[in-house]
């Protein structure tokens, strides 16, 4: 009898312990883990409000089998608008505030009113200056931006606009998938670490469509290039940091094996971009170089098999 009571007591204790363990596991499972993907807890609550399906009725993009990448001439700055073959679209950076019109003209001219994926590569004004105008003009699906401690007025003002609109920001860092639909993928492949230099914090994107791929470097410099552990072989590269010699190391150029190298740069800019040595290095390794200061907006398209420069 004594043993029976002891057994019941032990079974009861074991049962309670199991229930406690299950409760703990459930609680753990419900924790948001937002810090892996979402930049700011403050903005994360409404992340569902900007679902890409919201814009389905507004999109003009059609599933026409073409990916078209527009390297917009925004003077000294960066902005790329990409029409995806699934009918969606992506905007990477928006140039300086004064050049926002060029960005809007491109997007409006193509008939888009909804941007499915918005990427802010890093907080420098020549990439984010026009971003507030973009946010105030179009509906946005998902927004990606690296987490930095930048404290410029332009950056803080952008964050305020994002907060005002109750938008969420997904932290851009190596390994974050923007889009994954079988033969159409967009992945952020850098920054892998935290860098003191804001250029190296740039979100670097590899966009692949069937047999073709496009690499967008933002202003990433050689340190970040060196740290990228993904396959960077591509057909088209948006050259890092406006063709500056701080980027495009020989080793990295070789790794890309790119056929086309696009440099987004302003005519007669005060930084002396792009570097002639960098241009020569890309050419030496088999890339045709196109510059927005010479060509205006450069447009490249892919049908999944081959890549062509338009116009
Ligand atoms: Zn820049």
For the segment 75-90, the average pLDDT, to the nearest whole number, is 97
CA 171 from chain centre, in angstroms, equals: 10
State the distance from the centre of ligand 1 to the C-alpha of 245, rounded, in angstroms: 13
> 190-210: per-residue pLDDT in tens?
999 999 999 999 999 999 999
Q: How far apart are CA 292 and CA 114, in angstroms?
A: 25
What residues contact residue 88 under an 8 Å CB cut-off, 6+ apart?
Answer: 52, 59, 61, 116, 117, 141, 179
Q: How far apart are CA 240 and CA 257, in angstroms?
A: 15
Tell me what pLDDT residue 9 has. Answer: 57
Question: 19 pLDDT band (50/70/90 cuts)?
Answer: low
Tokens of 184: 């159409």
Strands 298-302 and 288-291: unpaired
For the chain, domain boundaries:
1-31, 35-310
CA 259 from chain centre, in angstroms, equals: 22
State the distance from the centre of ligand 1 to the C-alpha of 105, rounded, in angstroms: 21
Block residue for tokens 């088209």? 236
Block residue for tokens 């079988």? 182
State the distance from the centre of ligand 1 to the C-alpha of 198, rounded, in angstroms: 10
Question: 64 pLDDT band (50/70/90 cuts)?
Answer: confident
State the distance from the centre of ligand 1 to the C-alpha of 274, rounded, in angstroms: 12
Least confident of 21-35, 142-156, 180-194: 21-35
User: Is the pLDDT at 16 greater than 80, yes or no?
Assistant: no
> 207-261: per-residue pLDDT in tens?
999 999 999 999 999 999 999 999 999 999 999 999 999 999 999 999 999 999 9
Query: Taking a C-beta distance cutoff of 8 angstroms, is the pair 45, 272 a contact?
Result: no
State the distance from the centre of ligand 1 to the C-alpha of 96, rounded, in angstroms: 10
Least confident of 52-56, 178-182, 195-199, 307-311: 52-56
Tell me what pLDDT residue 13 has. Answer: 62
User: Is the pLDDT at 287 greater than 80, yes or no?
Assistant: yes
For the segment 52-63, the average pLDDT, to the nearest whole number, is 48
> Domain 35-310 belongs to what architecture?
4-Layer Sandwich (3.60)
State the distance from the centre of ligand 1 to the C-alpha of 236, rounded, in angstroms: 19
State the distance from the centre of ligand 1 to the C-alpha of 126, rounded, in angstroms: 5
State the distance from the centre of ligand 1 to the C-alpha of 208, rounded, in angstroms: 24
Q: Which of 213, 46, 54, 43 is nearest to 138 (CA)?
A: 54
Instruction: Outline where DSSP puts E strands in the chain.
Output: 67-71, 80-83, 89-92, 114-119, 139-145, 169-171, 177-181, 184-190, 204-209, 212-216, 236-238, 260-263, 288-291, 298-302, 307-310
Strands 89-92 and 204-209: unpaired
Based on C-alpha coordinates, what's the Rg of the chain?
23
User: Is the pLDDT at 87 greater than 80, yes or no?
Assistant: yes
> 123-141: per-residue pLDDT in tens?
999 999 999 999 999 999 9
State the distance from the centre of ligand 1 to the C-alpha of 240, rounded, in angstroms: 8
CA 137 from chain centre, in angstroms, equals: 20
State the distance from the centre of ligand 1 to the C-alpha of 9, rounded, in angstroms: 70
Tokens of 101: 């019109």
Tokens of 217: 């470097």
Q: Which of 198, 195, 261 is nearest to 226 (CA)?
A: 195
User: Is the pLDDT at 28 greater than 70, yes or no?
Assistant: no
Question: 58 pLDDT band (50/70/90 cuts)?
Answer: very low
State the distance from the centre of ligand 1 to the C-alpha of 18, rounded, in angstroms: 56
Question: 90 pLDDT band (50/70/90 cuts)?
Answer: very high
Q: How far apart are CA 71 and CA 307, in angstroms?
A: 15
Query: Taking a C-beta distance cutoff of 8 angstroms, is the pair 123, 155 a contact?
Result: yes
Tell me what pLDDT residue 51 has. Answer: 34
Strands 236-238 and 212-216: parallel
Q: Which helix (H) or strand (E) holds 227?
A: helix 222-227
CA 88 from chain centre, in angstroms, equals: 15
For the segment 104-116, the average pLDDT, to the nearest whole number, is 98
State the distance from the centre of ligand 1 to the C-alpha of 75, rounded, in angstroms: 11
For the segment 104-126, the average pLDDT, to the nearest whole number, is 98
Residue with more model confidence, 20 or 115: 115
Q: How do the residues of the chain divide into helix, strand and coil, expressed in percent and rounded to 5? A: 35, 25, 40
- What's the mean pLDDT when you consider all of the chain? 87
Q: Give ion ligand 1 contacts, CB < 5 A.
A: 126, 219
For the segment 179-183, the average pLDDT, to the nearest whole number, is 96
State the distance from the centre of ligand 1 to the C-alpha of 205, rounded, in angstroms: 15
Handedness of CA 218, 99, 289, 63 (dihedral sign): positive
Question: 26 pLDDT band (50/70/90 cuts)?
Answer: very low
State the distance from the centre of ligand 1 to the C-alpha of 35, rounded, in angstroms: 27
User: Is the pLDDT at 122 greater than 90, yes or no?
Assistant: yes
């Amino acid at each position: 009898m004594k043993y029976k009571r002891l057994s019941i007591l032990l079974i009861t204790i074991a049962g309670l312990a199991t229930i406690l363990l299950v409760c703990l596991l459930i609680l753990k499972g419900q924790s948001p883990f937002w810090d892996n993907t979402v930049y700011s807890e403050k903005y994360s609550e409404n992340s569902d409000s900007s679902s890409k399906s919201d814009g389905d009725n507004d999109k003009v993009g059609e599933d026409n089998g073409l990916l078209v990448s527009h390297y917009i001439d925004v003077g000294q700055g960066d902005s790329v608008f990409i029409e995806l073959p699934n009918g969606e679209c992506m905007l990477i950076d928006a140039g300086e505030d004064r050049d926002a019109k060029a960005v809007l003209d491109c997007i409006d001219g193509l008939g888009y009113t909804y941007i499915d994926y918005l990427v802010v590569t890093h907080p420098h004004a020549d990439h984010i200056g026009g971003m507030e105008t973009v946010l105030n003009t179009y509906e946005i699906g998902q927004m990606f931006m690296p987490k930095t401690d930048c404290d410029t007025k332009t950056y803080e003002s952008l964050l305020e606009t994002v907060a005002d609109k109750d938008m969420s920001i997904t932290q851009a860092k190596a390994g974050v998938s923007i889009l994954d639909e079988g033969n159409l993928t967009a992945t952020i492949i850098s920054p892998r670490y935290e860098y003191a230099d804001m250029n190296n914090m740039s979100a670097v994107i590899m966009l692949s469509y069937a047999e073709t791929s496009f690499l967008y470097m933002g202003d990433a410099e050689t340190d970040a290039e060196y740290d990228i552990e993904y396959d960077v072989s591509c057909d088209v590269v948006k050259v890092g940091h406006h063709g500056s010699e701080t980027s495009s190391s020989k080793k990295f150029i070789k790794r890309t094996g790119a056929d086309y190298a696009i440099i987004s740069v302003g005519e007669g800019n005060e930084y002396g971009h792009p570097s002639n040595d960098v241009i020569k290095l890309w050419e030496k390794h088999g890339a045709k170089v196109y510059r927005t200061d010479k060509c205006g907006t450069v447009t490249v398209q892919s049908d999944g098999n081959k890549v062509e420069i338009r116009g």
